Chain A
């Protein structure tokens, strides 16, 4: 099994679901403490890279671009490669435009479980409202203010049908990585670079 991303992500998944504390090697954080640590990010911009490891593919799809956050609750994800896409989240509503294909769509994030999980957790954490996560996830947290890890397990049936589990790491009010394991075996990791406050 030479460098198979599926196998690797599957193994990681096994690790964090069966031995969550092993995977993090950190002390648990109480929900109260968590909301003291994650207090909301200021308006900022940051580079991101994303890797989608799909069961359909032998190699990952890699995306790159810029994230933009405007408190409260509005953030934009501008993908620059491999093709341009502008995704704007405002409250519950998502607008996606593909300038190259001249298409624009608008939908509620709850319309699609996968995007719901991803965008809702990003939004709640950037807003400094980790408590909101409990609305759709069972939340466990480890670490301390300088390096924390969240394990989010869907609590609703609809979300659980598509999403196995998510893991988010960060320091203070910044998010570093978001990982998402799908029930299909597909895996996604988004890594956020250093932020430029505006």
Chain B
């Protein structure tokens, strides 16, 4: 048995136990709230509302492809029925069915108070009533008439239809055989909303499984393809994709490290020992974030774990420096001052982020700082205990010597490269930065495209423009929306907008309802008009007594309010349109089909209706992402400053600090230039990766600035560290997750450049 083997088993068992405890305490989140600042402005709140909306979180957008037209329709019908019968979904729509939406009965009860406006002179005119009766009679000879017949006695003029029309979406999806289909007809469409209250990843995943199983059980399902988008589809696909990528990445990393441990050091067991400080670092990072924030964001884990991945350098340094006598404890002691300074500077680079007002940045900062501290400590004190001796080192002295001589020749090309990078950055400065929110989310690109397709087929494109109407009470918001209506009408008549939707279209203000009540005819009057219209038709004279009774009831009924609706099923229909805010309520007016948003914005501004404000959500999103980016650049500069101070307090000589920082700046600049030259928009994740690159560069620079007589040893150690890091991150660059791809590319290219630059400018190459 090798020395330290017994200890290794004990240490692994302890780390495993701690890992299990930490894992059991974790609470994960995986939404986009990651990038939202602590203090959200009133305008950006619409974004957070939309992202956290319960009904949006549980809404599945489903497409069925393949097979014949008739087969797809049949499958859509059977599938929608199966979804409805499963009990997990409270709203399933595919265009078929004769069922009115939940809450319709309540609206019907109050149909003259609610819904779109009506003119008392027309609504109850003898000619309108007579015309309605003619249509009603024709309807009775049809099958739809059989279905709707029960509404006729109470509603001969079809007011219920006007209410129903106000509830249906402005633009309907295309329909084939009574079933929703995509515009080209090649895809049947279903929308299903889950019944559950809680939408964590497990629930979404369970729902997704259920949807897939229900589909698979249908006859003929195997010759068709099921497409699922919408937030639950996203969440699960993202997790699966990340899991898949992580599995491949860790597999490849495993092989690389195995290759190093076996081929380089002739000890396969080292594979586990080399990874141990890294594992301890991840656990420490998780524990720290959970303790401080109460939850860990998925992106923090993915990103943080990658960053802490550089901790593999620590045990590698210890091993590689044990060249003379193979005693790792001795080498750990010898390099500790350098290792310590390197770790402290890297941690210092991430400390400023802990103070950022974006919880996402703060979490990553804390995760990396805590993780690296734990990793370097275990590299220094635990690793030599478990691996007391090393007998064989990779890379012969002659190879190292040749590489070293090559590095010296690269000084001029590196300086040239840096200038080229600066030129590229200066030329493309405006186009360099990523302002697309989706680029920051871990959602795979093809899922985003599928979602956009299904949404546009369903006639529900992403809403971009809206008018926010504020008020102290729901009543005030509704009154203000009604004041806005003439403007909306004229914008619509002038074809500046295609349509709009707002709360006041369904629930008028109390004042408006009272006005409507005053317009309802008195019982005797209406009875006379109705009798005139009925006379000479096939309708019995008393057929519409329920109509008379309903109108009389609504004349005296208390007006419907937001609060009185809230308890009923109809409350579900109005609640998304009126949101409580500190000090009042806000109602959104969704606008669609804007020709020139500028004209609409100006018109709304000029109308100067109190509390109403035009909002461009895309613009708000970009502003939010931009401020996130700005803030991370600011913190990047801050962290560079902190690093200089820490370095100076460790090295005590300006020349030494310059020797370490020079190559760091070269590699960071060159990497930025490379990204810009490749046309890759630079997001906050690239910035954070660059800080890591800077940390690695300092690590290399610090080791190179140690005493010259150990040059070969140090050089070998550093090359080993870099090859391991760069190849692992290089593999990551092939990930389909935008974030992982960004980190991988930046760190692989950056760390390699950092090594070359540090070596080229190191003292021993002179």
Residues of A participating in the B interface, judged by any CB pair closer than 8 Å: 52, 54-59, 61, 63, 79, 82-83, 85, 87, 93, 95-96, 98, 103-108, 111-112, 114-115, 184, 186
Contacts and interface: CB of A to CB of B under 8 A. Distances in A.
Interface string B533-550: 000001110010000000
B147 A115 contact: yes
B177 A54 contact: no
B142 A83 contact: yes
29 contacts: A52-B140, A54-B149, A55-B543, A56-B543, A57-B137, A57-B140, A57-B538, A57-B539, A57-B540, A58-B538, A61-B137, A61-B140, A63-B141, A83-B142, A85-B143, A87-B143, A95-B177, A96-B142, A96-B144, A104-B178, A105-B144, A106-B179, A111-B97, A112-B146, A112-B147, A114-B147, A115-B143, A115-B146, A115-B147
Contacts of B138: 82-83
Nearest to B178: A106
A82 B539 CA distance: 17
B540 A58 contact: yes
A104 B175 contact: yes
Given A106-B77, A111-B99, A96 B140 contact: no
Interface in B102-158: 137-138, 140-144, 146-147, 149-150, 152-153
Nearest to B96: A106
Return the 3 tightest CB-CB contacts between A and B, nearest first: A106-B178, A106-B96, A56-B543
Contact of A85 (B77, B95, B142): B142
A16 to B, nearest CB: 22
Given A57-B540, A85-B142, A106-B77, 5 more contacts: A56-B149, A83-B138, A106-B95, A106-B96, A184-B150
Nearest to B143: A96
A114 B150 CA distance: 12
B678 interface: no
B98 interface: yes
B141 A98 contact: no
Interface of B: 73-74, 77, 81, 95-99, 137-138, 140-144, 146-147, 149-150, 152-153, 175, 177-179, 538-540, 543
B624 to A, nearest CB: 43
Contacts of B177: 95, 104, 106
Contacts of A57: 137, 140, 538-540, 543
A108 B81 contact: yes
Contact of A108 (B77, B144, B147, B149): B77
Contact of A56 (B95, B142, B540): B540
A108 B141 contact: no
A61 B141 contact: yes
A105 to B, nearest CB: 5
A98 B147 CA distance: 14
Contacts of A104: 175, 177-178
A95 to B, nearest CB: 6
A57 B116 CA distance: 31
Nearest to B140: A61
A104 B176 CA distance: 9
A105 B539 contact: no
Contacts of B178: 95-96, 104-107
Contacts of A96: 142-144, 178
A77 to B, nearest CB: 9
A88 to B, nearest CB: 9
A56 B144 contact: no
Nearest to B544: A56
Contacts of A184: 150
B91 to A, nearest CB: 15
Nearest to A108: B81
